[in-house]
Amino acid sequence: MESVLCDELLQEIFQRLPPSSSYSVSLVCKRWLYLYRSSRTSLSLRLIPHHNLFPSLSSFLSQHPSLSSLSLLSSSDPSPSPSPSTTSHLLSLVSSSCFSRRLLSLRFLAGPVSLSSLSSLSNSCSRLTSLFITLPRPIILRWVLSFPCLKDLSIVLCSDDDDSRHGVWESDEDSDSDSDSNLGLESLCLVGIRGDDWGIGWLWRSCKKLRRLQLRSCQGIGGSYSCFVHCLQGLQEVELRTCRSVVDMILLKLSENCLSLNSLLVYDGGSREGLLHFFTHCRSNLRKLDLRLPLDLNNTHLFAVAANFRGLVTLRLQSCCLVTGEGLKALAMAVGNRLQELALINCDVVERELGLLATLGQHLRSLRKLDLSHSEMLLDKELISVLVSCLHLIELRLRGCKRLTSAAMVSMLRSCKRLETVDIVHCFGIESEAVEMLIMNSPRLRRIEVEQNKLSDAAKINCNGVPLSIDPKPWKASGNRFGHTAHPQRFARGDLVSARRALKTEESELAATIVQG
């Protein structure tokens, strides 16, 4: 049979296989291994330093001529950072690879990248649309012009222990000139900007097509706010993670200069006054709001959101301990059936105010996704009171709700006929029989996250006629000197023997993920 199948046909088949089948395919024979590698379009490698790294990596990459997406990460083991010469050599291997002309996405986090390496990369990988790299200081960004197709750019500014290179570095990139470019960037992520960094003003002025902006662990914006406002006009999504010193000013500029914002995420930053000003004066039709503000968000902010963002579709609150039921009820009444996703993660108001979930459920009957994770004191009757009203749920996450019991699973079966995803990891009161009952009687269920010791053999194979696959936590394939992370194995219904054998190798893993269909 193998000789009947030509190389082209096998490669076409391999391209259509799910990633979880890769390890099995590569073990059949050398021919299949060669054809599988030559047909792969995506590859992720974690590089483990050793004396033969460069020739081995070069040889390995040469066996993947069809790659369009490549990710190279440094070893997770504590070890000295790669030298500039090492990272330059690694990037030169990518630039000179057989797939360089077809490469569309590169995630290179094996060390800081030099300007000369980027120049070489732009010449060989001219079709790159997505680039994720680490840059040293001082910050120079004009090289972005060398990648005409680039749409998605992510930059991590590496920490520098040399005090002599700290401080403001004046760059002509921030000078007032007519040399601004009109870059095609649509998504930009910057990580680790210090308060004394400079040199990003030119980029802000040149990103007039920007749709998504992410700032993480930033103490500044790397330029003046007069430059920054140039990129705000068409923004649709903004994420600010651990950027407390700049959040207020960014939100102020958004409220004044952006009319297209529909998604905002703020984690661990911002003042009460700054947040309130934004919620009160923002002129955009905000549809998604994701906040993790333990000591900054209160009912006053929720009242402002209820008054100004009645088209809200997604609301996610994490660890917001100053919020009470009064604010949540006002918001629920304002948005009504338009809200489709609600997350109250580690918000003690869920446990503190009995009857709150029942009231929210009555106002939010169109909810499709509900996340109450880490509500450790949540009781069955409180959960049941919201489930009986939210009959359209397709996703329910209850991770870490330690006091829930099997009675909650019975309510899920009765009320939530459309459930596709369930997370009940660390729900210690839910027993294996209830898990099996949910799996066997939920025809639309596609994914459930639960401890392996709560999965019976019947649940693993799923005898209700729906194909079932079990995805343990990803593991590292032995014998791969690059530390390439293999995808978890999948097992079709009926292959009980193979499933049991493979599952024995994963007994040490805590959580299992079951994916149906």
Most confident of 259-263, 444-448, 510-514: 259-263
Cα(210)–Cα(100) distance, rounded to whole angstroms? Answer: 26
In Å, how far are 124, 132, 163 from 90, measured between CA atoms?
Answer: 14, 15, 28
CB 205 within 8 A of CB 233: no
Cα(364)–Cα(158) distance, rounded to whole angstroms? Answer: 45
DSSP 434: H
Please determine, for residue 170, whether its predicted confidence score (pLDDT) is greater than 60.
no
Residue 161, both tokens: 């222990």
CB 156 within 8 A of CB 215: no
Comparing 260 with 84, the larger pLDDT belongs to 260
Which residue's structure tokens are 């369930």?
422
pLDDT digits (tens, 9 = 90+) for 392-441: 999 999 999 999 999 999 999 999 999 999 999 999 999 999 999 998 88
Cα(303)–Cα(199) distance, rounded to whole angstroms? Answer: 39
CB 313 within 8 A of CB 340: yes
Cα(347)–Cα(317) distance, rounded to whole angstroms? Answer: 7
Task: Give the rounded percent of residues in the chain with a pLDDT score beyond 70.
Answer: 78
Please determine, for residue 481, whether its predicted confidence score (pLDDT) is greater than 50.
no
pLDDT digits (tens, 9 = 90+) for 207-257: 999 999 999 999 999 999 999 999 999 999 999 999 999 999 999 999 999
Per DSSP, what are the bridge partners of residue 471? 513
Model-wide pTM > 0.85: no
State the helix-helix crossing angle for 406-415 and 380-387, rounded to 10 degrees: 10
pLDDT at residue 401 in the model: 95
Per DSSP, what are the bridge partners of residue 265? 239, 290
Q: For strand 468-472 and strand 475-476, is the pairing parallel, antiparallel, or unpaired?
A: unpaired
74 burial class (0-12, 13-18, 19+ CB within 10 angstroms)? Answer: buried
- Cis before residue 112, ω within 30 degrees of 0? no
CB 430 within 8 A of CB 516: no
Say how many CA atoms lie within 13 Å of 385 toward its Cβ: 14
Beta strands in 436-487 (DSSP E): 447-451, 468-472, 475-476, 485-486
Average pLDDT on 290-300 reads 94
